[in-house]
Structure 1
């Protein structure tokens, strides 16, 4: 007998996959190998393997037992400790006989699937049995991009979007959570492709794209803004106002600051509902007057005469 395939490998997912990502992986594979669509000789068997893997991993209790006992999980009595089982297997102990009934392997002795097992595995996800012996095809998940300003990403809010598909045009009200980042996906449950024969529709995922901003540069949740400074502010120290998406903030410029120095304002970047917010970095840029008054020129000439500072000397 060929060794059992790992259910996670069958669905092409990691062992720590979330329930949502597990469902997306299953739907994608199910649409590819559903026998009503794919006429390859091996598609039906592949479809059954995919459905069996999803049936187990989508059930929290079965997934826990599968993670604990591996392919033997159906044979292990409910009260067996995983570590005890592992020690018994390592010591060459005999495996318990396979039990019959609902917990037994879905495959019959003839290698096929019984009617009750087909209904259990495929009926819930595909909405019942179809004319061809297999359930309706679930709706496809879809993606669309939504462009936001940095300010919208910071505060969140409501947006109305219009989606123009091949067969319909829809207008949706979308809630933008505060602190979304570029590339993040916003899930709209049930707003994806339509399912066949009354099957459940897929989900719509809005991929966030942050529009270029005239003031802020974005890196994840961190923001960088240019901080113009007068020569005396950079040389002598100053407290300078900085615009942030959350309002004005003050930054203390240390004495001796040169252009390019980044001053960190902790937590003033994009918010994070589940953790630490991003930071805002004020990047110093020393500016000089385009035109000098007579008095300014005199003072700069006096500074040049007495200063020994050489910005081009190597340290």
Structure 2
């Protein structure tokens, strides 16, 4: 996926004010509008301009985009870090009115999927209005979902400064992570969203939960998976072994004749809930290295005494 330098698209540097962005977009949009432009690439350029303007005219999207840094070149291969927008607070309402259909994969990877696209709320009355709901992402450890916990998080939001450029401000909150929360679910913090107008109540803050990558486990819904290394003799003969789980170590029986890829279910050992998920130990038969004379002798003995062709099903 190619990195899009939205400032370069609009012919601006990163210090441009919001007025500069609007002025440059209008000028270039007139030049490349498909109905009037004679340029061969007018359609592509016009769409590219619209995408850049969609991001840079919105202080929140611009602030989040700027967090990626200035060390990327247009066209450079790019993959957004999985936590690139963590802690960045967006107001509801989604995109700012433009038709985003056909925007690049780069745009979708950053702002697609409905992130920050909650409904806007309005109160009754000319001088009172409920504050907007805000949205952010928070990463937790898988173990936090098993036990529940309290975390202190710092959220960053963008607003226009007196010079017309986005200004980032931070705030710190204590957040209760409920036991059993799944990846993708939201935690609602009542009254922690945008301020209301007049007598209007403040909006709510919604935190979308993501699990941090884990060295042992991966989650799918409420189920958790563990790649379980098993010695050849354990797989062939069967064994009772110790297995780690996020809830503690358990004993697990390996049936004789097990092979790599087989799944052993530990009922109720997944993410807590009603009902709880399950934990699946996925067998991975590992082969000891022949890095000693003894090991080499054992392998040669197996080669001579075992009638075994691992490619028999291939017909060779």
TM-score by length of 2: 0.55
Give 1:126's aligned residue.
123
TM-aligned CA deviation for residue 253 of structure 1: 0.5
Task: Tell me the secondary structure at the aligned position of residue 155 of structure 2.
Answer: strand
Give 2:102's aligned residue.
none
Give 2:307's aligned residue.
308
Could you tell me how far apart the structure 2 residues matched to 1:307 and 1:169 are? 67
User: Are 2:205 and 1:204 equivalent residues in the alignment?
Assistant: yes
TM-aligned CA deviation for residue 292 of structure 1: 4.3
Could you tell me how far apart the structure 2 residues matched to 1:204 and 1:198 are? 19
Could you tell me how far apart the structure 2 residues matched to 1:296 and 1:170 are? 60
Q: Tell which deviates more after alignment, 148-157 or 299-308.
A: 299-308
Q: Tell which deviates more after alignment, 298-307 or 180-189.
A: 298-307
Could you tell me how far apart the structure 2 residues matched to 1:314 and 1:267 are? 37
1:17-63 Cα distance to aligned partner (Å, 9 max, x none): xxxxxxxxxx97xxx9xxxxxxxxxxxxxxxxxxxxxxxxxxxxxxx
TM-aligned CA deviation for residue 194 of structure 1: 0.7
- The runs of 5 or more residues in structure 1 that have no matched partner are 1-26, 33-124
Give 2:258's aligned residue.
257
CA RMSD, Structure 1 to Structure 2 (Å)? 2.3
Give 1:64's aligned residue.
none
Contact 2:290 2:296 in 1 (8 A): no
Q: Which has the higher helix share?
A: 1
- The runs of 5 or more residues in structure 2 that have no matched partner are 1-91, 98-121, 160-168
TM-aligned CA deviation for residue 156 of structure 1: 1.3
User: Are 2:286 and 1:287 equivalent residues in the alignment?
Assistant: yes
Give 2:184's aligned residue.
183
Task: Tell me the secondary structure at the aligned position of residue 198 of structure 2.
Answer: helix
1:142-189 Cα distance to aligned partner (Å, 9 max, x none): 111101111122211000112223465322111100111111000001
TM-aligned CA deviation for residue 282 of structure 1: 0.9
TM-aligned CA deviation for residue 297 of structure 1: 2.9
Give 2:151's aligned residue.
159
Could you tell me how far apart the structure 1 residues matched to 2:212 and 2:294 are? 44
Contact 2:236 2:256 in 1 (8 A): yes
Give 1:141's aligned residue.
133
Give 2:239's aligned residue.
238
Could you tell me how far apart the structure 2 residues matched to 1:297 and 1:263 are? 32
Alignment length, in residue pairs? 188
Could you tell me how far apart the structure 2 residues matched to 1:286 and 1:163 are? 44
Could you tell me how far apart the structure 2 residues matched to 1:294 and 1:166 are? 65
Could you tell me how far apart the structure 2 residues matched to 1:244 and 1:299 are? 34
TM-aligned CA deviation for residue 228 of structure 1: 0.8
Structure 1 residues 308, 139: closer, same or farther in 2, change over 3 A?
same
Contact 2:228 2:282 in 1 (8 A): yes
Could you tell me how far apart the structure 2 residues matched to 1:198 and 1:174 are? 27
Q: Which runs of 4+ in 1 moved over 4 A?
A: none
Could you tell me how far apart the structure 1 residues matched to 2:154 and 2:294 are? 60
Task: Tell me the secondary structure at the aligned position of residue 213 of structure 1.
Answer: coil
Give 2:195's aligned residue.
194
1:87-106 alignment, distance < 5 Å: none
User: Are 2:272 and 1:277 equivalent residues in the alignment?
Assistant: no
Could you tell me how far apart the structure 2 residues matched to 1:279 and 1:200 are? 42
Give 1:88's aligned residue.
none
TM-aligned CA deviation for residue 219 of structure 1: 0.6
Give 1:296's aligned residue.
295
Give 2:36's aligned residue.
none
